[in-house]
Amino acid sequence: MIRLSKSVVGALEAQAVAHVIEDIGYLGMGDIVGAFEKELEQYIGGSSFHCVCVNSGTAALHLAIQAVTQPGDEVLVPSFTFVSTFQAITAAGCIPVCCEIDPHTLLIDLSDAEERITPKTKVILPVFYASNVEMVEEYHVFANKHGLRIIEDAAHAFGCSHNGRKIGSFGDIICFSFDGIKNITSGEGGAVFSSDDNVIEQVKDARLLGVCKDSEKRYAGERSWVFDVQKQGYRYHMSNIFAAIGRVQLSRLDSEFAPKRKKMASLYVSLLSENKKIQLIKMNYKDIVPHIFPILILNNRRGELIQRFKDNEIQYGIQYRPNHLLSFFKTSSGLPITEDVYDRILTIPLHPDLSEIDVRFICSIINNL
């Protein structure tokens, strides 16, 4: 079986977890989480940007949205994203406003989004689908033009750069995911980056039941026994166990994971670029760390290719079912471009354990369609 995606963990991660269990003895949020946050800040490199770790990318989005909105506010967001993005918006009491995507980049169509702005619109939430960060500057211009906060869903984009700067080192608010199959994993986890101190402090407090100024005490091995709670909080904090895994994964990203992901993605491009039966998404693989590899199948032959993958034990994905088609988020009007992309999209295996032999085999099946 050729896996679509997988966690790549081993002895180093196991040793880090054992250190927390056997030597430190405290598995909850403590100094290992604080150390992970500092290392993430150093890696991203934005001198004025700070990081708060939480237990999922969804939690990161939820707390970021909650920090800059009021219930009933509207958030511009592409329908073509994983449901977690929409769940984070509604969890904060806000209204997701489904926007079209560009059929070539699969990113939010800003001209369509502009037509959907109302007096209730407070945030634009672009998604870096498949690690595509090429439009990030245009998002910032759009947000400034319309007086909106911008929260970047960078779940696919940890380690990516644009014009020499790491995603997370500039902008407004950036949210990452460290779940089991992302560019780095902490088992489960996520992070919020921002230079807005008010946002950072709100997220810090809200991640652990809203207890004010509790993070620093936890990092020092202490607890707050006489404290105040001023806003709604949640059990969204990261544990020392998860942070220990994340620290090892971060140390392996540039030396192991990123080069392998780039190499396999570039090999896909070289082997599939002449195929007229599919459409590739144009990417700059020098600057990004590709999380998934999507292709668009032409001439209604996706079902045939899926069957060939099944026959050859190759996993695939259909990422993602548009949210406006889901019962909970269903809208009265359609999004024809998004729906057309959904009907043709297929994601093919990409992860650091994928071999060149695997890629060539997968491409031979696609090219013989």
**What confidence tens digit (pLDDT) does each residue in 250-282 have?**
999 999 999 999 999 999 999 999 999 999 998
Per-residue model confidence (pLDDT) at position 179? 96
* Superfamily classification of domain 254-367: Aspartate Aminotransferase, domain 1 (3.90.1150.10)
For residue 332, what pLDDT band results from cuts at 50, 70 and 90?
A: confident
Number of residues that this document lists for the chain: 369
Per-residue model confidence (pLDDT) at position 47? 81
Tokens of 42: 């150093």
Backbone angles phi and psi of 250, in degrees to 5? -60, -40
Per-residue model confidence (pLDDT) at position 282? 86
C-alpha to C-alpha distance for 184 and 246, rounded to whole angstroms: 7
Q: What is the CATH number of domain 11-249?
A: 3.40.640.10
The whole-chain average pLDDT of the chain stands at 97
pLDDT at 46 over 80: no
Identify the residue whose tokens are 């992302």. 182
Say if residues 185 and 34 touch (Cβ distance below 8 Å).
no
Per-residue model confidence (pLDDT) at position 1? 97
- Averaged over 342-348, what is the pLDDT? 98
Tokens of 62: 């939820």
C-alpha to C-alpha distance for 279 and 77, rounded to whole angstroms: 24
**Coil, strand, or helix at residue 37?**
helix
Q: Which of the pair, 219 or 63, is modelled with greater confidence?
A: 63
CA distances from 284 to 54, 155, 166 (A): 30, 18, 14
Domain ranges in the chain with CATH number 3.40.640.10: 11-249
- Averaged over 147-154, what is the pLDDT? 98
- Averaged over 240-259, what is the pLDDT? 98
For residue 216, what pLDDT band results from cuts at 50, 70 and 90?
A: confident
Per-residue model confidence (pLDDT) at position 222? 87
C-alpha to C-alpha distance for 131 and 164, rounded to whole angstroms: 15
17-28 in b/e form (b: 16+ CB < 10 A) is: beebeeeeeeee
Domain ranges in the chain with CATH number 3.90.1150.10: 254-367
Please list the helix, strand and coil fractions of the chain in percent, rounded to the nearest 5, in that order.
40, 15, 40
pLDDT at 211 over 80: yes
- Averaged over 104-126, what is the pLDDT? 98
Say if residues 121 and 148 touch (Cβ distance below 8 Å).
yes
For residue 224, what pLDDT band results from cuts at 50, 70 and 90?
A: confident
- Averaged over 178-206, what is the pLDDT? 97
- Averaged over 30-36, what is the pLDDT? 97
C-alpha to C-alpha distance for 346 and 349, rounded to whole angstroms: 10
Contacts of 123 (CB under 8 A, 6+ apart): 65, 68, 69, 73, 74, 75, 76, 94, 148, 149, 150, 151
Q: What's the start-to-end Cα distance of the chain, in Å?
A: 20
C-alpha to C-alpha distance for 197 and 49, rounded to whole angstroms: 9
**Alpha-helical regions (H) of the chain:** 11-18, 31-44, 57-68, 83-91, 110-115, 136-146, 197-206, 215-219, 240-252, 258-272, 302-311, 336-344, 356-367
